[in-house]
Amino acid sequence: MRHPLTHSINVLCITGALLFGAAAHAHAQADWSDAASLPSPRQEIYATTHDGLIFTAGGLAERASAVRDDFLAYDPQTDSWQELPNLPAARHHITLSTLNGMIYAVGGFSGAFPNWKPETSAYFYDFETAQWNALPDLPVARGEHVAAVVNGLLYVIGGRVGGTASAATFNEHRDTSRVDIFDSEAGTWLRGIDAPTARNSAASAVIDGRIYVVGGRQFLEQPDGSPASVNLASLEVFDPATGLWSVKAPMPQAAGGLGAAAVDGKLYVVGGEQWVPTREVFAEGWVYDPATDEWEAIPGLNVPRHGLAAAAIDGRIHAVGGATETGAGDVTAHEVLTIRP
């Protein structure tokens, strides 16, 4: 008999989008359907799963002018959300991961745009005490990164860090390929092997013990001298067993701020946005098969959005929250896609 806040399952959050092949619905039984909405709108969130529940925390709200600190759990069995003890501090772009039966919340930004200050803070939620506890700080403050757990280690990859020690606004950040690893047994952070590409707003998932990082963007200077967020389509895979990164087939459509999850050994990505050459928010979804190194289209979201959280549980992908306008338009939307075995 399961505890109401515990049934374990792997969750994967990623940010990416692709279009390839003619069979748009080949891997899904039906289109996306609605599930219980979030208690309140939010974007720039991540998700993890534990004991059959989906968890998300923080985010941006009120058209990206407010930062949230609430911690929420969704139960697919009852199609309902539960409010849990708030994060110790309000954060957006804070990653959630499940390790040793606890939820780890790492990094992220404090402050609404443009005052996004990258943070070094890291916490874990203990279900036995129903409390958040502090972890050793990240070696480098960061947000818009991805996180993944393999063999009891928590990998924090990429994102944006301060260009200077005092950097506290969006334009003062820089993209990084840095990898830091938290060893929960030793209680210390280790330096990992940098990813091939510096990027922010990507997505990630773990398949067969390997970490997949896909999509995202880079903040680059344009020909006219102005900075802009430029999307990436690249897919890179890290194998902790060998310590090597490899480059795989890119997504058919570059996207930043997408959501992703892994089901039955395949990587699913959905949604996202682009800023240049035109502003767009995507509904499209894609699936990547590591066995063939190929992408294929899946049904698109009913509500196009970016900054959403994605998680997979019992063969179903959940797409939670996000925003319907580039940089704004936060929503409570929650859609579910059932994947055919």
At 288-309, the pLDDT tens digits run 999 999 999 999 999 999 999 9
Is this model's pTM higher than 0.75 or not?
Answer: yes
The answer to whether residue 28 scores a pLDDT higher than 90 is no
pLDDT higher than threshold 50 for residue 9: no
Confidence at residue 165, expressed as pLDDT on a 0 to 100 scale: 72
Q: Is the pLDDT assigned to residue 1 strictly greater than 50?
A: no
For residue 25 the two structure tokens come to 């619905």
For residue 92, give the DSSP letter: B
Q: Which pLDDT value is given to residue 171?
A: 80
Average pLDDT, the chain: 90
Question: What pLDDT, on a 0 to 100 scale, did the predictor assign at position 12?
Answer: 36
Cis-peptide into 277, omega within 30 deg: yes
CA atoms within 13 A on the CB side of 228: 15
pLDDT at residue number 328: 85
Angular region, 162: left φ>0, alpha ψ -120 to 50, beta rest: beta
- In 33-79, the DSSP E strands lie at 33-34, 47-50, 53-57, 60-61, 66-67, 71-75
Q: Cα–Cα distance between 145 and 210 in angstroms, integer?
A: 17
Residues 6+ apart with CB under 8 A from 16: 202, 203, 214, 215, 216, 233, 235, 251, 255, 258, 260, 269, 272, 286
Which alpha helices (H) appear in the chain, and where do they start and end?
none
- Cα–Cα distance, 339 to 268 (Å, whole number): 10
pLDDT of 15 reads 34
Token pair listed for 184? 């929960």
Q: Which CATH class is domain 33-338?
A: mainly beta
**Which residues share a beta bridge with 80?**
75
**pLDDT over 70 at 338, yes or no:** yes
What is the model's pLDDT at position 30? Answer: 66
* 120, pLDDT greater than 50: yes
Mean pLDDT of 30-37: 93
Query: Residue 92: CB partners within 8 Å, gap ≥ 6?
Result: 43, 44, 45, 58, 59, 60, 67, 68, 108, 109, 116, 143
3-state SS class at 230? strand
**Domain ranges for the chain:** 33-338
Measured at the alpha carbon of residue 290, what is the angle toward residues 266 and 153, in degrees to the nearest 5? 75
pLDDT of residue 24: 40
Q: In what order do the strands lie in the sheet with 235-239?
A: 203-207, 210-214, 235-239, 244-248
